[in-house]
Amino acid sequence: MQIPNHIAFIMDGNGRWATSRLLPRNAGHSEGVKALKRVINGCMKYGVKVISLYAFSSENWKRPEKEVKELFRLLKTFFTRDLLHLCNKPFRVNYMGDIDALPSDVKEGMIKCMRDTADVEEYVVNIGINYGGRDEICRAVNKMISAGIDHVDEQTLSSYLDTAGLPDPDVIVRTAGEMRVSNFMLYQLAYSEFIFLDKYWPDMKEDDVNTIIEEYNTRHRKFGAL
Ligand code: FPP
């Protein structure tokens, strides 16, 4: 069995999970957090070293204020309470996205988690918040301009992305039957394998990681070679 180094998740279907049960959409997001814990534990059980999660896109601000507020409430609880009890293996927290625009209490919680876990090497949980792949590339280019860089190669650009130092995702998983990239890890996905699952994110179980890894093992990765 080949174990992917890095699996990235587009956690889709929280809203539909809730409305199909006649519950408010926000109930789907709360269940989504529980699923996220199961999936992280499943990944770590198999030795997946880097786990990326798309928690809030730069386009999600267009949602009703009540839903955005609830997502931030969940994020704040996640960073101040849940993360500490997530699993028995230590991991480092990394963020992708423009976090300066976030409510200050959420941002403070995130920065504290990042600092507290900065020395952990074995596992990384990389969370996209106020994240968009195009925005990430623009921010990287602007940082390079500010640093006075006048020639860019792939390695330089990679080192200015929010994922600097992390391997590219071997697998991108999207739940809820949608087959779109939705502005996620646009630069990093060049050779990722895509797996689309026909279940809503809150229905994800630890065992689904096994299904993902089995499917990954059926893929023949060529990276442009024969
Ligand atoms: C997509 O489902 C999901 C989101 C926009 C948010 C994902 C957030 C969580 C799982 C919880 C918070 C995350 C953390 C890291 C604590 P959707 O709402 O677009 O579902 P729909 O397509 O069925 O409407």
Residues with CB under 6 A from ligand 1: 11-16, 29, 32-33, 36, 53, 55, 60, 71, 74-75, 78, 127, 176, 201
Q: Which of 14, 48, 11, 21 is nearest to 122 (CA)?
A: 48
Checking if the pLDDT of 226 tops 90, the result is no
DSSP 206: T
State pLDDT tens for residues 12-23: 999 999 999 999
Q: Which helix (H) or strand (E) holds 190?
A: none
Would residue 202 count as lying in a domain?
yes
Hey, what are 139's tokens? 């921010």
pLDDT band at 85 (very low <50, low <70, confident <90, very high): confident
Asked whether the beta carbons of 54 and 224 are under 8 A apart, the reply is: no
Would residue 225 count as lying in a domain?
no
Domains in the chain: how many in total? 1
Q: Which of 58, 51, 60 is nearest to 94 (CA)?
A: 51
pLDDT for 80 equals 87
pLDDT for 201 equals 98
Hey, what are 224's tokens? 């442009």
Q: Which domain holds residue 79?
A: 6-138+169-216
Gyration radius (Cα) of the chain, Å:
17
Checking if the pLDDT of 88 tops 80, the result is no
Hey, what are 35's tokens? 């699923």
Would residue 175 count as lying in a domain?
yes
Pocket test for ligand 1, best of 11, 178, 198 (most atoms within 8 A of CB): 11
CATH number for position 130: 3.40.1180.10
State pLDDT tens for residues 174-220: 999 999 999 999 999 999 999 999 999 999 999 999 999 999 999 99
Class of residue 24 by CB neighbours under 10 A (exposed 0-12, middle 13-18, buried 19+): middle
